[in-house]
Amino acid sequence: MRLLAGRSIAVRLAASSLFWSSLILLIAGLILSALYRQATERAFDERLLVYANDLAADLVSPGDQDQRGLGSLGDPRFDLPLSGWYWQVGRLDAKPRDIRGSRSLLGNPLPMLADSSPDRRFGDIRKDYAAGPEGRFLRVLERDIDLGEDGRFVVRIAGPADEISEAQRRFIAALVVTFLLLGAALGLSTLFQIRFGLKPLLDLRAAVGSIRRGQSERIRGDYPSDIAPLAEELNLLLEANREILERARTQVGNLAHALKTPLSVIINEATDPTPEFTARVREQAAIMREQMDYYLNRARAAALAGTLGAVTEVGPVLEALARTFGKIYRDKQLALDVSAVEGLRFRGERQDLEEMAGNLVDNACKWADSRVEVRAELDTENGRSILRISVEDDGPGLPAEARVEAMKRGRRLDETKPGSGLGLSIVSELAGIYGGKLELGPSRLGGARAELEVAGDLST
């Protein structure tokens, strides 16, 4: 595996296919060779058994045992000297001169496959390899025949073992040639399959390269079902990056536009020094600082929205906000009730969650008479996990016609209350950056209800 580390997928697939194909072909070749040898031996033994049965039939035929017509097997190889084909018949306890054999033996004895003890089992057929005349390797079949009063005889038939070996060698040679051709065909088909199977990845790589070179804006084309989700995710990632850049540009442009008016006022006042000059400069500088903080925060949030790995525990943030605003509005003696599902998380930066929830809780505390309730839960909509944070108060509430105006930037419905009128607009913009929204409505406590929806999940 280390040799393939860093190699391409095509090389890894080709190497894996070559290894396993070679191993499978080798194992198949060994199995087929063994099966063929067994079949060849079985066929050879059946031929020897036919000859042995023919000799046995001659032994049991009527007539004097010394005049029985042994040797007429119909195969001239038994008459050729040292041909490798031999037969031999004799009593179990016969002396060498009393044992009859084929002419091809030239008086040489055939090897015995079992000892000549009287208690040996008769009727068995024994088969084995043994050395014959002139050391030639033979396949020997031995059969015992009991003729009753005529005695017990042993019939031996032998044939050259090299015929079996030669047949197996020819089979192995043909098998090797066949498997080499099969392996070559498998190799070519594997290479074709690899090229055909990896072509969508090559096309995807080319599409990404064209985007990098500025020749295209998104990945186009038809891809297989297992590659199409990757192409779609890459397109979504590209679109998200474009949105992030566009949001950042928008916020920077808004910052530049917001600074034009204060800067023009400062320049005009600087040319006409009056007693109010210092106050005007401070006022406009404060406005510039407020605008810079606002738009720089929006630019930061736009750049970080949807960042992979950015998650924030909701419960601790809401509890910390409740403690903070409980101290800020301690003169009103408000009852701040916070409830959040265990393990609930916001998929975004902690600072942004604090700013969104903090503005809603602050706004509710300003208008509440005695009670503010904060609830956080997880909901599912169209297969998407949504974090819902609702903030309710028991104040005078908000008329339906004033809810849209309340979320406009810098809009203050009551000038007697402290604030800049940016709170709800900040929450709405941040929620939009995170793919969510802010909705205002009536509260069951009698006042106003603000519901924030952003991306969320549960910790596992």
**Predicted local confidence at residue 94, as pLDDT:** 67
Domain contains 407: yes
Q: Are residues 298 and 319 in the same domain?
A: no
**Predicted local confidence at residue 410, as pLDDT:** 46
Q: Are residues 275 and 316 in the same domain?
A: no
- For residues 57-93, one letter each, b for 16 or more C-beta atoms within 10 angstroms of the residue's C-beta and e for the rest, the string is ebeeeeeeeeebebbebeeeebeeeebbbbbbbbbbe
Q: Provide the token pair at 42.
A: 């079985």
**Predicted local confidence at residue 301, as pLDDT:** 60
Q: What is the mean pLDDT of the chain?
A: 79
> Per-residue pLDDT tens for 268-292?
666 656 666 666 666 666 666 666 6
Q: Are residues 255 and 359 in the same domain?
A: no
Q: Are residues 384 and 449 in the same domain?
A: yes
**Predicted local confidence at residue 420, as pLDDT:** 41
Domain contains 125: yes
Q: Are residues 318 and 404 in the same domain?
A: yes
Query: CA 122, CA 117: separation in Å to the nearest integer?
Result: 11
Domain contains 31: no
Instruction: Select from 250, 275, 304 the last residue of a domain.
Output: 304
Q: Are residues 330 and 449 in the same domain?
A: yes
Q: Are the C-beta atoms of residues 73 and 55 closer than 8 Å to each other?
A: yes
Q: Provide the token pair at 56.
A: 């046995």
Query: CA 68, CA 61: separation in Å to the nearest integer?
Result: 7
Question: The CATH number of the domain where 339 resides is what?
Answer: 3.30.565.10
**Predicted local confidence at residue 61, as pLDDT:** 63
Sign of CA dihedral 209, 211, 216, 218: positive
Domain contains 80: yes
Torsion of CA 48, 51, 52, 56, to 10 degrees: 170
Domain contains 423: yes
Q: Are the C-beta atoms of residues 456 and 387 closer than 8 Å to each other?
A: yes
**Predicted local confidence at residue 435, as pLDDT:** 80
Q: What is the pTM of this model?
A: 0.49
Could you tell me the CA-to-CA distances from 456 to 61, 120, 261, 355, 453 in Å, in that order?
A: 102, 90, 40, 16, 9
Domain contains 409: yes
> Per-residue pLDDT tens for 187-205?
888 888 888 877 888 888 8
Residues 6+ apart with CB under 8 A from 73: 51, 54, 55, 87
Instruction: Select from 104, 139, 163 the last residue of a domain.
Output: 163
Ordered per-residue pLDDT tens for the chain, 460 residues: 556 555 677 778 888 888 888 899 899 999 999 999 999 999 999 999 988 888 888 776 655 444 444 555 778 888 889 888 999 888 876 676 667 888 888 888 888 887 766 566 666 788 889 988 888 899 999 888 877 677 778 888 999 999 999 999 999 999 999 999 998 888 888 888 888 877 888 888 888 877 776 667 788 888 888 778 888 888 888 887 777 767 776 766 676 666 666 766 666 666 656 666 666 666 666 666 666 666 666 665 655 555 545 678 889 999 999 999 988 888 888 889 999 888 888 887 788 888 888 889 998 898 888 899 999 998 887 777 888 999 999 988 887 777 676 666 544 444 444 444 456 777 888 888 778 888 888 888 888 889 999 888 887 6
Number of domain units in the chain: 3
Q: Are residues 300 and 317 in the same domain?
A: no
Q: Are residues 321 and 388 in the same domain?
A: yes
Residues of the chain with pLDDT > 70: what percent? 73
Q: Are residues 341 and 444 in the same domain?
A: yes
Structural domain range at position 346 = 312-458
Q: Which is nearest to 78 in space by CA: 37, 43, 40, 50?
A: 50
Q: Are residues 330 and 432 in the same domain?
A: yes
Q: Provide the token pair at 359.
A: 């503005």
Instruction: Select from 126, 143, 163 the last residue of a domain.
Output: 163
Domain contains 326: yes
**Predicted local confidence at residue 421, as pLDDT:** 42
Q: Are residues 452 and 387 in the same domain?
A: yes
Q: Are residues 334 and 291 in the same domain?
A: no
